[in-house]
Amino acid sequence: MTTLAVEKGVGAMLRHWRETRRLSQLELALRADSSARHISFVETGRSRPSPEMVLRLAEHLDVPVRERNDLLLAAGYAPQYAETPLDDPSMEGLRAGIDQLLQGYEPYPALVVDGTYQVVAANRGIAMLLTGVAGHLLAEPNAIRLALHPEGFAPRIRNLPQWRGHLLHQMQRQIALDRSGALRELYDEVAAYPQPPSHPHTSGTADPPVAYFALPLQIEHDGRVLSFVSSISTFNTPMDVTVAELAIETFLPADRSTVEYLRTVETS
C-alpha cells in the first residue's frame, strides 16, 4: 500500500486523484452518478464508500489498477485485481501473443517493459542495437538505464540532450501519478548519470535534412546514424496488475536511409 494510503486513508487518496485529474466534486459526482455532498463526505472521512463506489470513482478518475487495489485496502476491503507473474502458466497466451507481435514488427526494434521499465521481452531489432552495451546492463535490462547509462546507448545517441529530457519528463509524469518509490529511485539514479560530450559528425554521405513529425531517437550504429520515432501501447481494460503495467514500445524508422539499412540487415 502507498504511503498516502497508510497516512491519510481512502478519502484523502480519492481527493488526490480528483485534484490530479482537475475535476470538481460536482463534476466527479455527475460522472459517477452520485452527489457532490456524498463525494465531499467520502473525501473528509464522514462516509465510508462501498467497494462498488470505490471502483466506480476510480474508473472515472482513471486510477491505475495497482492504485485501485490500494484504494480498496484503504477503505477496508480486499483488493480486486491479482498480480500474476508473467512466467505463470495462466499467462502463456499473453506471452505467446507478445512474442508474435514483437517478431511481426521485425526488422524494426520493439520491446516490452513493466511498470519500472524492466525489459520483459524484445525482438531482434533491439538486439541489433545492443552492440557495445556493457554486460552488467544486460543482466537485468532496464530500458531507461540502457538508454541513459554512459556504458549503454547514451554515447551513441546523437541527440542525447533532447532524448534524455524526453525520458526524464516521461518518468516525472508517471511518478506524479502513482508515487512509486521504485520509479523515484530509478529517476534519481539515471538523472545523475554524467552526460557524454557532444558527438562528432558521423562520416559518410548524409541524407538531405528531414522534417521529423515527432522527436526522433538518433543513434549511431555500424558507422551510420539510424533515426526512429517511438510509439507506446498498453492493454485495454486490464484485470491484472501485471498486465496493466506492461507497455509495448515500437520504434518506427523516421527516414528513408534507416528503412533501407534495416531491410538490408534483414536480408543479409
The domain at 90-196+210-267 falls in which architecture?
2-Layer Sandwich (3.30)
Beta carbons of 125 and 256 less than 8 angstroms apart: no
> What secondary structure does DSSP assign to 156-187, as a single string?
GBTTHHHHHHHHHHHHHHHHHHH--HHHHHHH
* Dist CA 175 CA 1 (whole Å): 15
Question: How many alpha carbons lie under 13 Å from residue 7 in its C-beta half-sphere?
Answer: 4
Phi, psi at 266, each rounded to 5°: -65, -35
CATH superfamily of 3-74: lambda repressor-like DNA-binding domains (1.10.260.40)
Beta carbons of 113 and 246 less than 8 angstroms apart: yes
Residue matched to cell numbers 540532450:
161
Per-residue model confidence (pLDDT) at position 171: 94
Instruction: pLDDT band for 61, please (50, 70, 90 cuts).
Output: very high
Round the average pLDDT of the chain to a whole number and report it. Answer: 90
Q: How many CB atoms lie within 10 A of CB 134?
A: 12
Per-residue model confidence (pLDDT) at position 177: 76
Taking the chain, what is the end-to-end CA distance rounded to the nearest angstrom?
A: 51
pLDDT higher than 80, residue 7: no
Contacts of 214 (CB under 8 A, 6+ apart): 229, 254
pLDDT in tens, 214-254: 899 999 999 999 999 999 999 988 899 999 999 999 999 99
pLDDT in tens, 74-95: 999 999 999 999 999 999 999 9
Question: Would you give the DSSP letter of residue 118?
Answer: B
Beta carbons of 210 and 54 less than 8 angstroms apart: no
- Is the model more confident about 4 or about 90? 90
Residue matched to cell numbers 498486465:
243
Each domain of the chain, given as residue ranges in start order, spans: 3-74, 90-196+210-267
Instruction: pLDDT band for 203, please (50, 70, 90 cuts).
Output: very low
